[in-house]
Amino acid sequence: MNRRFLRNLQSEVEILRRMNHEGIVKIVEVFSTEEDLWLVTELMHGGELFDYIVERNGLEEHECREITRQVLDAVRYLHANNIVHRDLKPENILLASKPSDGGALIVKLADFGVAKIIGTSQMATTYCGTPHYFAPEVHGRRGPQDRRSVGYDTAADNWSIGVILYIMLCGFPPFSEPDSDDEGGEDMVECITAGRYTFAPGTAWDAVSDSAKDLVRRLLEVDPTQRITASAALSHRWFSEDGGQSAADADAPNFGGQERSPKRARQKGQGVDKEAGFLYN
């Protein structure tokens, strides 16, 4: 077994054994041999959130609200215990059951292989996870040594939640690599570090409430010191609303002051790029 992979598994076991929250997958048993380490966790009948989004061809806003509330509560617990997940994405959020199967919509965080325990004044420095969901300060760990950011902390998880919420609400990602035939397309990392995204008119955003967009903005704040925390996000007004919808918000501001045209929209028959973790045409 690869040593780095083994270290990640051992770290995951250590963290999961310390956790006791209804929004985090529980570890049941661990078995090891000379060559393998087996983790037995509670059974999640509903599969990945990613697959649920694809099956439903996008989610209703009230579903996004409930999923986001549960994810934020679990992340709040992690951060209170000085743990940063570092790889939050729809594939690592599992459903205990599906409403279509007669169960409640219950989600839990999984895959703590790159999670890290940090001190209150400590920062993580490893460039790991899934780039589409990286916060600007995580991408800042790449490049020449003299230009790298000093590191990142739990705020990076909150950015990832913002990306997940954006995808659930509209069906396409806020940041993506330009298409091969799009010579004028912007580099994904540049857009992330500058916070360039848009609530484009003529897409699913036309039916999304203003308060949901406001929460997305607060989560996708480029400056990690100004980014809303998981605890504060749970008190956001979106969670106390009944799902009222808004008109098109074509002039909604976004960080960086520039808008990007979405290349992907939620449509039936579209494909799936699972590695990147979003839907595409």
Number of independent structural domains in the chain: 1
The enclosing domain of 79 has a CATH number of 1.10.510.10
Say if 264 falls within a structural domain: yes
* pLDDT on residue 179: 57
Question: 54 lies in which domain range?
Answer: 46-280
Taking residue 47's Cβ as centre, other Cβ atoms within 10 Å add up to 13
- Judge whether residue 248 has pLDDT over 70: no
Taking residue 31's Cβ as centre, other Cβ atoms within 10 Å add up to 9
d(CA 173, CA 192): 11
> Where is pLDDT greater, at 4 or 257?
4
Say if 132 falls within a structural domain: yes
Kindly report the average pLDDT of the chain as a whole number.
78
pLDDT > 90 in the chain, percent: 42
Q: Give the residue numbers marked as catalytic.
A: 87
Query: What are the CA-CA distances from residue 77 to residues 42, 121, 225, 245 (Å)?
Result: 19, 18, 19, 31
Give yes or no for a contact between 140 and 148, defined as CB atoms under 8 angstroms apart. Answer: yes
- Judge whether residue 148 has pLDDT over 70: no
pLDDT-derived band of residue 51, with 50, 70 and 90 as boundaries? very high
Say if 97 falls within a structural domain: yes
Say if 6 falls within a structural domain: no
* pLDDT on residue 11: 74
Task: Tell me the pLDDT tens digit for each residue of 170-204.
Answer: 988 998 766 544 555 578 888 898 899 999 999 99
- Spatial neighbors of 203 by CB under 8 A, at least 6 apart, are 170, 172, 262, 265, 266
Say if 3 falls within a structural domain: no
Say if 13 falls within a structural domain: no
* pLDDT on residue 127: 45
> Where is pLDDT greater, at 251 or 240?
240
Tell me what the mean pLDDT of segment 75-84 comes to. 93
Nearest CA to 163 among 227, 98, 113? 227
Nearest CA to 208 among 235, 268, 261, 248? 248
Q: Is 229 helix (H, G, I), strand (E, B) or coil?
A: coil
Taking residue 119's Cβ as centre, other Cβ atoms within 10 Å add up to 8
Tell me what the mean pLDDT of segment 150-155 comes to. 78
- DSSP character at residue 254: -
